[in-house]
């Protein structure tokens, strides 16, 4: 509906600053430097100049992050007012309003709810990107079981079958790692295939001194050209695009959490259809006799 789309575009334009906040800034390598050495002093900043520039970039990042967070917080009150007064109007005058006017009130409430969901998602991305990380040893199988419990109703409604492999203990922030599994499961639920019951598989395998976790489904899958795009802010995969659900923040939050833990996340086609989302996390206890 038009009202919903307008709110979404304005929110995206205003809050996309969050996507630039808290990301590492890459300093370009000066041109003209050849293995060795001629004229390096002319091109490479002195250490004190370089340190000052890095400090300025970090300060700019913090300011952008603070601004995006402040905007999101400040939007909560007017959104609550819009939704509250629209609901009061519907209760007070509902019986005297014609069907078209009642539909208008429904559109207002739907747009306000969508905007509120997006604001909360932006704040969640802010916490995932810039909030404190408090790692501890996490039994990932217990964590996945707890996350699945939150989706029990949706999974039962979809007739979903969930298979969980042997999952290791990992040194990570339990809350943030839980968000990753929660968003990947939510993504699978939105991307169900209309012609088959949903099947989700959650596995882990060792890759050198790291663990690779994978959440695979037999849903509608992801196009190859969308493999990188869907991890950006406000970008949705085929499931969200078709169902008009989701706010395009879940996978961006996953990437922020995984990268802050020193890992990487990606997606590929799953065997037999669907998508396989995988992410790596360093095994901080690799070769350590005291790991759980």
pLDDT in tens, 179-221: 999 999 999 998 888 888 899 999 999 999 999 999 999 998 8
Higher pLDDT, 171 or 28: 171
Query: Which phi and psi (to 5°) does residue 133 adopt?
Result: -105, 125
The CATH architecture one would assign to domain 136-282 is 2-Layer Sandwich (3.30)
Helix 47-93 × helix 99-130 angle, to 10°: 150
- Residue 105: CB atoms within 10 Å: 17
What are the residues whose beta carbons fall under 8 Å from the beta carbon of 177, sequence distance 6 or more?
Answer: 138, 140, 143, 170, 257, 261, 281
Question: What does pLDDT average to over the chain?
Answer: 77
What would the mean pLDDT of 231-252 be, rounded to a whole number? Answer: 62
- Residue 34: pLDDT band (50, 70, 90) is very low
Higher pLDDT, 137 or 82: 137
pLDDT at 231 (0 to 100): 83
Measure Cα distances from 235 to 8, 18, 206, 251, 265 in Å. 12, 14, 30, 9, 16
Tokens of 163: 């298979």
The whole-angstrom separation of Cα 292 and Cα 289 is 9
Sketch the domain layout of the chain as residue ranges.
Answer: 2-130, 136-282
Q: What would the pLDDT profile of 61-87 be if each residue is shown by its tens digit?
A: 666 666 666 666 677 778 888 888 888
């Amino acid at each position: 509906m038009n009202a919903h789309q307008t709110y979404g575009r304005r929110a995206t334009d205003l809050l996309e600053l969050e996507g630039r906040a808290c990301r590492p800034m890459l300093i370009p390598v000066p041109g003209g430097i050849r293995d060795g050495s001629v004229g390096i002093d002319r091109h490479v900043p002195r250490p004190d100049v370089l340190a000052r520039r890095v400090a300025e970039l970090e300060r700019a990042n913090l300011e952008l992050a603070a601004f995006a967070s402040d905007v999101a917080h400040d939007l909560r009150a007017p959104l609550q007012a819009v939704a509250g007064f629209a609901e009061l109007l519907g209760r007070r005058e509902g019986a005297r309003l014609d069907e078209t006017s009642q539909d208008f009130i429904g559109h207002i409430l739907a747009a306000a709810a969508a905007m509120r969901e997006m604001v909360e998602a932006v704040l969640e991305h802010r916490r995932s990107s810039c909030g404190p990380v408090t790692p501890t040893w996490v039994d990932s199988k217990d964590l996945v079981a707890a996350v699945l419990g939150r989706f029990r109703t949706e999974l039962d409604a979809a007739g979903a079958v969930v298979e969980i492999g042997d999952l290791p203990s990992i040194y990570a922030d339990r809350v943030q790692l839980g968000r990753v599994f929660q968003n990947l499961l939510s993504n699978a639920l939105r991307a169900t295939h209309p012609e088959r019951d949903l099947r989700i598989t959650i596995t882990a395998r060792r890759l050198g001194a790291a663990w690779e976790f994978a959440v695979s489904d037999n849903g509608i899958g992801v196009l190859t050209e969308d493999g990188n795009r869907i991890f950006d802010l406000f970008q949705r995969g085929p499931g969200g695009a078709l169902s008009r659900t989701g706010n395009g923040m879940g996978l961006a939050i996953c990437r922020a959490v995984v990268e802050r833990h020193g890992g990487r996340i990606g997606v590929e086609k799953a065997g037999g259809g669907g998508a396989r989302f995988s992410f790596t996390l360093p095994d901080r206890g690799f070769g350590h006799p005291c790991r759980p």
